[in-house]
Structure 1
């Protein structure tokens, strides 16, 4: 059994739980060590490395330095892992420290699913951070990222990392043991009910919130926005107060992925796949979790023209693409929306098949095998043929 030490930037982040489930389903034993954000309480089986604060870059650096000094004591009694996975740049620093503690011969995997705007700056701060990434990544055996645009726009032309790259998209975990995962049916509103747009996941985009509020007010109740997930409160003046004062918006809190997906997507017809959080940079390049979640349940995705998400759904001939970030443009996109048009759009998503959107148990096993190849000192000769077989239609594994 492959023994994995997973270093997490935020132990409460649902993405950490999903990756842990993926590795365990593939046959690995996973030990999670990571930071808490604020008052979040880690699970009993998580090694607590301290507290970091969202949006406080300086504080996070200090927390990493402190954790590095305490890491030997924190890892006391832990078995030597076969592989160390570092989620984000700050954890890559701790991965190198952990590797030194365990004898400096453990393969390190750098999992980078977002490109922070500081890494893209052309000033001294940006150059310093990229140099730090290069230094910390000198011993990385594998780079894992979730969108081809990250490779094309950052890792290939800008980053100096030399590690082999694995494209691992944000597909929905489907282990085949939950009948609820299989439901996906058309759901036009009943007469007199509004069309519903679901904005689920990491809620961090002020521009999207304002745009959707203006749109639903302009449509006077014909459309409603349902919000679920974890708001990044540091990015909003008053998220809860804003939503409470909007007549056609409702926030229903966090949800579990994958357990709750069938239920929450069954309540909406459209999925908001737009993010202006780092407009023109990371937000233009990512393929968000909500894209795969929604399409898994045949919810019609909405993307912004010029983004990787828009290119992705256009290549599959599905979804709606917004031309301008304005409520009038969104109203034009939905002009004349009828049950018949919706059913046609639903059918296009359904025709792609669930395999385009899910990561099943066999995928989990192939991923763990890929990591095991690193442990076997075969990082340069192991190919991705096994990982990509049965997934030529996915575009998720390279």
Structure 2
């Protein structure tokens, strides 16, 4: 199945993972998207990539203009997209471009809207936010399927705010941010570091929470005997006052830069805990998301730390593992009272959770492609056993 996949950032590792899932499920994707890097990749996981230009974090006005230009000039892809059987758009801005391309290029296949975050602009009560929700509803009425990565996005936003399941009838599919492991036998988790002080906490992935950096660096500076912080990933520098300076000022806080998927076992193998707490959009998207690190870290035996009454904490409670704090201020006392035996018990809890909780496999890929190709959520008896959760 030839599939057009419109994405917000061609260089985003999560986009690469989704493209690999589409390929493993039987699709032949063409990836069209903006980029946040200086140069554009020619391919994404071997799939041809079409560069729509560079956009930037926190510059919504520029992104709106780029989106409008992409939509207005979408007819230029008519030859490239000839024969496309399905269209998929990651984020709202790409839904607008994809819908325009679908119309101008005469594509008749189903359209899927993939939403992995709810931006704070969509949740305010001002005129601009109401207008954005109106635009989203209008575009969703032209879509055939909605994919979300957390059930809380449906419960807290799409159902009450956008009328999904009521005034807006669209099938929905829950596809969590699991690791993708295909073909080879599952890798063994690395040997854990020796349990004991200083406890090492990893913070990996999309690094965008100023409050988390403040909490971790302040505690590390005050208690160098108790913990060390290792940060790896892609910082959103627009969200911090001085990310590099703050890290450099605390000797037992380090930043290792971006990483590849194959680096995960080595990086997680160095640490005891992972930081699965985010306050970038406190009370909103940060309360609802299920981030990549919530799946990556336990896959490699590392114990996640989350807030109990947020979606991350509820995920840990549902599966019976991890550290669930009522407030980050409890972290120091928790680590202070933690014995090596206590830590090993926490790790055994992680190791007892079925691998399918953290890892997407070929069945998940087939489910994704079947749903996108038909524009509908599929019954779990279509291709058992299915690891992804379906939402009616």
State the TM-score, normalizing by the size of structure 2: 0.93
State yes or no: 1:124 paired with 2:131: no
Q: Which residue of 1 aligns with 2:265?
A: 262
Q: Which residue of 1 aligns with 2:249?
A: 245
Does the 8 Å contact 1:118/1:126 carry over to 2? yes
Secondary structure of 1:247's counterpart equals coil
Q: Which residue of 2 aligns with 1:203?
A: 207
Q: Which residue of 2 aligns with 1:172?
A: 179
Aligned residues between the structures: 383
- The CA deviation at 1:104 is 4.7
Distance 2:369 2:189 in 1: 29
Does the 8 Å contact 1:169/1:397 carry over to 2? no
Distance 1:174 1:228 in 2: 21
Any residues of structure 2 matched to 1:11-22 within 5 Å, and which? 11-22=10-21
Any residues of structure 2 matched to 1:1-398 within 5 Å, and which? 2-44=1-43, 45-160=48-163, 161-177=168-184, 181-189=186-194, 194-257=198-261, 259-326=262-329, 329-374=330-375, 379=376, 382-386=378-382, 389-391=384-386, 396-398=389-391
Aligned CA distance change for structure 1 residues 140 and 384 (closer, same or farther; 3 Å): farther
State the TM-score, normalizing by the size of structure 1: 0.91
Does the 8 Å contact 2:9/2:33 carry over to 1? yes
Secondary structure of 2:283's counterpart equals coil
Distance 1:242 1:176 in 2: 42
Distance 2:128 2:195 in 1: 54
Gaps of 5+ in 2: none
Distance 2:343 2:191 in 1: 9
Does the 8 Å contact 1:188/1:339 carry over to 2? no
Distance 1:281 1:210 in 2: 20
Does the 8 Å contact 1:270/1:301 carry over to 2? yes
Distance 1:13 1:146 in 2: 16
Does the 8 Å contact 1:189/1:195 carry over to 2? no
- The CA deviation at 1:348 is 0.3
CA deviation map 1:130-153 (0-9, x unaligned):
100011111111000011111100
- The CA deviation at 1:25 is 1.2
Superposition CA RMSD, Å: 1.9
CA deviation map 1:223-276 (0-9, x unaligned):
11111111101111221222122111111111123x222222111111110000
Secondary structure of 1:62's counterpart equals helix
Does the 8 Å contact 1:266/1:297 carry over to 2? yes
Distance 2:235 2:37 in 1: 14
Secondary structure of 1:92's counterpart equals helix
Gaps of 5+ in 1: none
Does the 8 Å contact 1:186/1:346 carry over to 2? no
Does the 8 Å contact 2:232/2:259 carry over to 1? yes
- The CA deviation at 1:14 is 1.0
Does the 8 Å contact 1:26/1:368 carry over to 2? yes
Distance 1:117 1:79 in 2: 36
Distance 1:78 1:206 in 2: 41
Secondary structure of 1:109's counterpart equals strand
